[in-house]
A and B are shown apart, each in its own frame.
Chain A
Amino acid sequence: MSAAGQTTASTKPAAEASAPVLEAIGLTISVRGEEGEREVVSDLSFSLARGETLCIAGESGSGKSMTSLAIMGLLPQPAAHLSKGSIRFGNLDLSNLPESQMRRIRGDRIAMIFQEPMTSLNPVLSIGRQIMEAIEVHTPMSRREARRRAIDALKSVRIPDAERRLDNYPHELSGGMRQRVMIAMALALKPDILIADEPTTALDVTVQGEVLELLRDLQRETGTSLILITHDMGVVAEMADRVIIMRNGRMVEEGKAVDIFASPQTDYTRELLAAVPRMRVGAEARQAPEDPQASAGVPAPVATVRGLQVRFDLHGGFFGRVDRRVHAVESVSFSIARDETLSLVGESGCGKSTTAKAIAGLVPYSGDIAIDGRSLHGLSAAERNAVRRDVQMIFQDPYASLDPRMRVGDLVAEPLLIHRIGSREERRNQVASLFERVGLSADQMDRYPHEFSGGQRQRICIARALALKPKLIIADESVSALDVSVQARVLKLLKDLQREFGVAYLFISHDMAVVENISDRVAVMYLGQIVEMGTRDQVFSNPRHPYTRRLIEAVPVPDPKLRRTHFARLDREIPSAVRQVGDPPPLLHLHDAGGGHLVAQ
């Protein structure tokens, strides 16, 4: 088989340009579950041309990842298997290739990178070792030669100081760096096909921009065909030559990227594109209707934060004394009015979630926080808890934030129970009305969390947060884990509830498009400090701070005609928030650039 493989590889340039590298014909994947066998991908056919980028897009459960695993022969055994169809790769049929032959194709001819760079590399092996073994397993060579190839691979993904990096372990690298290592590993042997399964979903938006551009450049250099699996229509628009839209295991639509975005043929594609949160571009932004309360004068703030500071001590040395500190949040001040949504944006580690936790009383802090005019400073623990009843949180992961052993009705009633509000009957009635309010029915109250979908669970979390009629709800990446169509509906629900109850939101997100969609005001955080704060229009239409500009620029626009040709690279990583004791970071001073638009100098 190896010989046959070599022949195909060597005839690569001679092959006609139009011959597909890979062809899937009538692909059907079944998964054995408790209720018998179920098709997760049905009768899928497509072809991939040399050098082409094919995006397979769809929401969770559409079968896009299963398709990619099937091509690699990595379907989770023994539950999933290829029940029908074939996968033609050159003159081979991958669907019935014995494992020993399939193994020689994996990594050499077809390579794959995965969604989670944090967990996709083995934590106990140095990255050099991991790249070298990928090379050595297919092309026998000396240690030294393998090492040289590994250094080349790291250089090709633009990792600075590649030689030294080789001896690093994965935990010493950031998420973006790790994904580059994955790409280096996958492309080291110049495969015919690279399958990238949500390669940038777990990355910050600026890093996403860099990784996508890198993939594009490398593809141009090596002529590798790319199958990109993604749920993000912005990424599709940025990368795809052709697009396959999938839903519930079936292909809904296929076509050139430009055509699909310009004139989608099916209702589902239209819905999917409509649900994508878009950032308004230039002049269009101006046409958005003004928020009614923006002109109604300044309402009294629901929450005020003054000089908030959160630091975590790190211990070291012989006696375990504090020798370094994480400056998670430094001198952050803002206020949120009734009915208002303030968004905190920034990349991972910028301190946005820590700020939220401090307000909710989940981490120790210094500085002053006042809720509804009552300062928490100098209050006893019991008094603070009473004030904090007005602050509730909705978390990111709707799967992890509901106790699987409790009925959802009891979960929503729990805050009432803790604060001893109402009789059993009253509580039940209130929970029923909350369920109906968030778009669930009251007879679902006696079910368990696992019986609900992700979007429904997030609705349950919202109902739970609303139970105590809080004045401020902190939504920490609350829609990030949801599919776009579900996300759009949950965002609409949040807005409706705000109008109805007058609740204020502190909305924390890394997704600039979502933030632009929901916010009244926006604060941009970088390394624990606010670098820019203003109304949505001020920040998005007239970003002043370079970091804000970079963040906005990095968001892929869901329109292939507006595809960026070049994305400015950041040569260095974001510096660390860990500093020596006695060396606090310099504090930024915000100055007013007009109309309350605060920008750090």
Chain B
Amino acid sequence: MIAYIGRRLIQSALILLGVSIITFALLYLLPADPVRQIAGRSATPQTVENIRQQLGLDQPFFVQYWRYLTNLLTGDLGRSYIQRSEVSELIVSRLPASLLLMLGAIFCELAIGLTMGLVAATKRGSATDQTLMLTSFVGVSAPQFVVGLLLLYVFAVRLGWFPIGGYGTWKHLVLPSLTLGVLGAGWYARMMRSSMIDVLRQDYIRTARAKGLRRGTILVRHALPNAILPVVAMIGIDIGIFMGGIVVVESVFGWPGIGQLAWQAIQRVDIPIIMGVTLVSACAIVLGNLLADIVAPFIDPRIKLR
């Protein structure tokens, strides 16, 4: 187990190195010039050139990357071009909000998706099943900004149950989490349904019935742990999808997380922030997957970590 985690962490470090090279290269090739953004429209060519030298952006690609990498290894993510503050501080101050939003979204996904899938599977072919599957289809296909605006309109503007935006109480968390979670909930509902239908057909469910167990016991103790396995593996992948969604959802709800930070940085070609947010996201995805893999053997003893 420990050897496995050690090996996976080494692999993760290599993945992050790859991500850093690719992102750095893409940003380097970008036609937008960060120096122009910093200097402003009225700056003289001399000023522009000075800033470029100051930031080291006149150096060749490999020199720039090497400097970034060596700084990175000491924990230095660089300074923001525009805000003039440490990128690491910016990210650290905004990360908790984003993590909270993500946890909320995962909770929504699982609570809504798994329940829908479970109910649909046990009532397979009924009107309930069809309604739930249609709902999940809508959830999967609706764009996030539409879902967000719709939820805002209904629950914040018309009903006034939740605040329109901002950050602070659990009430602020509900709508953004729902918006971010709806897509995953749709997927999970469908996965859970098919996985559950498959499990309910298995011989061991028949054995459990032959023992005289109650229906509820059979579902919760015998079917659920078997059906949930593919979903657990998905959660790891989901974190990646969240990272994309967070940029949209945080903008819609004015949520002060790294999604908003990234959005502002992209608009201003603030390369150090974009790099930092990308690396942190990549970290989250890699760790999320590792976590999903570590959890799996606790649900299914047949899975061995090697």
Contact = CB atoms under 8 A, between A and B. Distances in A.
Nearest to A73: B209
B264 interface: no
Contact of B203 (A120, A126, A138, A317): A120
Interface in A285-334: 315-320
Q: Interface majority SS on A: helix, strand, loop or mixed?
A: loop
B306 A138 contact: no
Contacts of A169: 301-302
A137 B211 contact: yes
B302 A107 contact: no
A588 to B, nearest CB: 32
Contacts of B171: none
B212 interface: yes
A317 B3 CA distance: 7
A41 to B, nearest CB: 18
Given A124-B226, A125-B221, A134 B6 contact: no
A112 B209 CA distance: 10
B1 to A, nearest CB: 11
Nearest to B7: A318
Interface of B: 3, 6-7, 202-204, 206-214, 217, 221-222, 225-226, 299-302, 306
**Interface-central residue, A106, A120, A138, A169, by most chain B CB under 10 Å:** A120
A119 B202 contact: yes
Contacts of A171: 301-302
B212 A120 contact: no
A319 B226 CA distance: 30
Nearest to B202: A119
Q: Interface majority SS on B: helix, strand, loop or mixed?
A: helix
B7 A123 contact: no
A123 B207 CA distance: 12
A185 B212 CA distance: 12
A315 B306 contact: yes
Given A123-B301, A315-B306, A106 B206 contact: no
Contacts of A122: 204, 207-208, 222, 226
Contacts of B204: 119-123
A74 B210 contact: yes
B210 A125 contact: no
A124 B6 contact: no
A106 B207 contact: no
Given A120-B204, A122-B207, A320-B306, 15 more contacts: A74-B206, A103-B213, A104-B212, A106-B212, A114-B207, A120-B203, A120-B207, A121-B207, A122-B208, A124-B226, A124-B299, A133-B211, A133-B217, A169-B301, A182-B207
- Taking residues whose C-beta sits less than 8 angstroms from the other chain, chain A's interface range is 20 to 34
Contacts of A119: 202-204
A105 interface: yes
B210 A107 contact: yes
B222 A138 contact: no
A111 interface: yes
Contacts of A320: 7, 306
Contacts of B203: 114, 116, 119-120
A211 interface: no
Contacts, number: 80
A107 B206 contact: no
A103 B3 CA distance: 47
A72 B6 CA distance: 51
A123 B302 contact: yes
A316 B226 contact: no
**Interface-central residue, B206, B210, B299, B302, by most chain A CB under 10 Å:** B210
B299 to A, nearest CB: 6
A585 B221 CA distance: 43
A210 interface: no
A390 interface: no
B161 to A, nearest CB: 40
Contact of B212 (A103, A114, A116, A126): A103
Given A119-B203, A123-B226, A137 B212 contact: yes
Contacts of B202: 119
A72 B210 CA distance: 7
Interface of A: 72, 74, 103-108, 111-112, 114, 116, 119-126, 133-134, 137-138, 169, 171, 182, 185, 315-320
Report the 3 A-B pairs with minimum CB-CB distance, sorted nearest first: A107-B212, A106-B212, A107-B211
A160 B212 CA distance: 28
Given A124-B226, A125-B221, A318-B7, A111 B302 contact: no
Given A316-B306, A319-B7, A111 B301 contact: no
A124 B211 contact: no
Contacts of A105: 212
Contact of B209 (A74, A108, A317): A74
**Interface-central residue, A106, A182, A319, by most chain B CB under 10 Å:** A106
A112 B203 CA distance: 12
B124 to A, nearest CB: 10
Contacts of B3: 317-318
A123 B211 contact: no
13 contacts: A112-B210, A119-B204, A120-B203, A120-B206, A120-B207, A121-B204, A122-B207, A124-B300, A124-B301, A133-B211, A134-B212, A137-B214, A317-B3
Nearest to A105: B212
**Interface-central residue, B214, B225, B301, by most chain A CB under 10 Å:** B301
Contacts of B6: 318
A64 B279 CA distance: 63
B297 to A, nearest CB: 10
A17 B234 CA distance: 60
Contacts of B299: 124
B129 to A, nearest CB: 14
B186 to A, nearest CB: 26
A185 B301 contact: no
A169 B206 CA distance: 18
Contacts of A133: 211, 213, 217, 221
Contacts of B208: 122
Nearest to A126: B301
A107 B218 CA distance: 14
A114 B211 contact: no
Contacts of B306: 315-316, 320
A191 to B, nearest CB: 10
A108 B213 CA distance: 11
Contacts of B209: 74, 106
A113 to B, nearest CB: 8
A119 to B, nearest CB: 4
Contacts of A138: 212
Nearest to B222: A122
**Interface-central residue, B204, B206, B213, B225, by most chain A CB under 10 Å:** B204
A104 B211 CA distance: 9
Nearest to B201: A76
A221 to B, nearest CB: 21
A111 B214 CA distance: 16
B204 to A, nearest CB: 4
